[in-house]
Structure 1
Amino acid sequence: MNRVLRWSAWVVTVIVLIAVVFLVWANIVMQGTRSAALQVWRDDRVAVRDAGDSVVMTPTGSANGAGIVFIPGAKVDPYAYMATFRQVVAAGTTVVITKPTLHLAFFDTRGLSTFESHAPDVRSWAVGGHSLGGVRACQLAPDADGLLLLGSYCANDISRSYISVLSVSGSRDGLSTPEKVDAARHLLPSNATMVEVQGANHADFGAYGAQPGDDTATISRTDARQQIAAAIEEWVRTLPSGSALR
């Protein structure tokens, strides 16, 4: 009996230690670059508010009726993507950047409606994500009018879906490499729009500094951000004006 109790105590202790280590690891996030975030806060074309479960960015001028629920990459500060979508929001699109459970998209079981409720005037919703966030976005794609992948690719097959898809990758991405994006291309609809930003790396899709395992970008962050935003703005125009595809 004593041996059983000792083994039970040992097993419980190990489980608790593993849980503690995991929680500490999960909460060490790649922080958003402060200067890039401040530029967005000071942009009078964009309104930013913290909704608790997400960061909501809305245009202060005329809106185009489109919105994007965007899921951050693993352990990346949601505010790091404000700079990515600054120009997109200024052009009229609402963007809701989620705050995933434990900073990891796969632990977040909330549906799109949770985040869409923060912008009830939006008529057409797309779901998107960066890196691991994009993989999760693919799983939620059947509930959306469009899918946006930034430095990411699907693990599930949505090739028979009728939604509008945009995949923006970087030629210098050391994590979601061009080879990985190409290998997963068959999981997307045949008419998906594929854009590769020459010289951009994995971290160029957010503003959070360098990321371990990434390759060195050969273009400036400003240049990469402008090209990414331009691709998204053009793609937004292809989204349906309502939610008829859901």
Structure 2
Amino acid sequence: MPEKRGRRVLRWTLWSLLALVILVVGGTVIWSQVGVMTAEPGPLAEAEQNPALTIDADAPEGVVLSPADGDSEVGLVFIPGAKVQPEAYIAKLQDLAAEDGITVVITRPWLNLAFFDLRGMDAFTSAAPDISTWMVGGHSLGGVRSCQLAEDADALVLFASYCANDLAESGLPVLSLSGSEDGLSTPQKIADARHLLPEDAELVEIEGASHASFGDYGPQAGDGTPTISDEDMRAQLTEHVGAVADALR
């Protein structure tokens, strides 16, 4: 009897653990699909009408932005923020391709969360196999993930983000773009993680930019109020990231 009772307890324990795992996994999947911040239709439609820009939203690597003339020597793998639709970044990043000739691959993270996406750089750079020079970057949580991929890139660009791993001795060119009105990746959080970046990393705080200013998906809970226009924000992103690409050419 004690032996049978022990087997029953073991079976009950195993089934309980299995049920718990199913609940956790199922809950995570459901949560990752609820509240996804989608692209605002106006800025997206404008970008789609840009004659100097080619958009491939169905590429296996993600959303690929490339110059319409096909002349591109540098690429950027861009990882979206948590639960933000990749298309929400097209408008802000469009001039990197249309004006600066940078091929931009906006990834589609698994479950809309960068930390669940364990793919390496080659899973995204395959979108443009003729390009050998690649930057990696991302917005918010996507930037944290980009830091983990940086050793396989030629430069790192952080968009309202910071690293959790130590790149101080990497020798990697790093540009950190932040916003003075960011209520999530606050100026203080950016400063607190500064020691994880190389000494010569360039930190640029964009006056008037909030966390959501780096994309076009509407206001975000907990964020500050932006005072910069979308046009000026787009111009500053193009100028600063373009300068990194020019240094790599």
Counterpart of 1:90 (choices 93, 98, 104) is 98
The corresponding residue for 2:52 is: 45
Give unpaired runs (5+ residues) of structure 2: none
Amino acid at match of 2:32: A
The corresponding residue for 2:204 is: 195
Counterpart of 2:192 (choices 178, 183, 205) is 183
| Pairing 1:67–2:75 present | yes
Provide the C-alpha distance between the structure 2 equivalents of 1:62 and 1:164, rounded to a whole number of angstroms: 26
SS at match of 2:247: coil
Structure 2 matches for 1:138-177, cutoff 5 A?
138-177=147-186
Number of positions where the alignment pairs a residue of Structure 1 with one of Structure 2: 240
Amino acid at match of 2:50: D
Bigger radius of gyration, 1 or 2? 2
Provide the C-alpha distance between the structure 2 equivalents of 1:25 and 1:205, rounded to a whole number of angstroms: 24
* 1:135-177: CA deviation from partner (whole Å, max 9, x where unpaired): 1111111111000100001111111122211110000111110
SS at match of 1:207: coil
- Partners of 2:61 and 2:127 within 8 A in 1: no
Amino acid at match of 1:121: D
| Pairing 1:57–2:65 present | yes
Q: Could you state the TM-score of these two structures normalised by the residue count of structure 2?
A: 0.90
Counterpart of 2:25 (choices 3, 19, 32) is 19
Amino acid at match of 1:145: D
The corresponding residue for 1:129 is: 138
Q: State the 1:64 CA deviation.
A: 4.4
Provide the C-alpha distance between the structure 2 equivalents of 1:229 and 1:178, rounded to a whole number of angstroms: 21
SS at match of 2:157: strand
Amino acid at match of 2:210: N
Amino acid at match of 1:18: V
Q: State the 1:6 CA deviation.
A: 4.7
Q: State the 1:3 CA deviation.
A: 5.5
Q: State the 1:7 CA deviation.
A: 5.0
Provide the C-alpha distance between the structure 1 equivalents of 2:92 and 2:145, rounded to a whole number of angstroms: 19
The corresponding residue for 1:117 is: 126
The corresponding residue for 2:244 is: 235
Identity, % of aligned positions:
46
* 1:35-76: CA deviation from partner (whole Å, max 9, x where unpaired): 211211111101011213311111013634110011111111
Provide the C-alpha distance between the structure 1 equivalents of 2:11 and 2:132, rounded to a whole number of angstroms: 60
Provide the C-alpha distance between the structure 2 equivalents of 1:207 and 1:176, rounded to a whole number of angstroms: 17
Give the RMSD, CA atoms, in angstroms. Answer: 1.6
Amino acid at match of 1:236: A
Provide the C-alpha distance between the structure 2 equivalents of 1:108 and 1:18, rounded to a whole number of angstroms: 18
Q: Which range moves more in the overlay, 131-140 or 230-239? A: 230-239
Give unpaired runs (5+ residues) of structure 1: 242-246
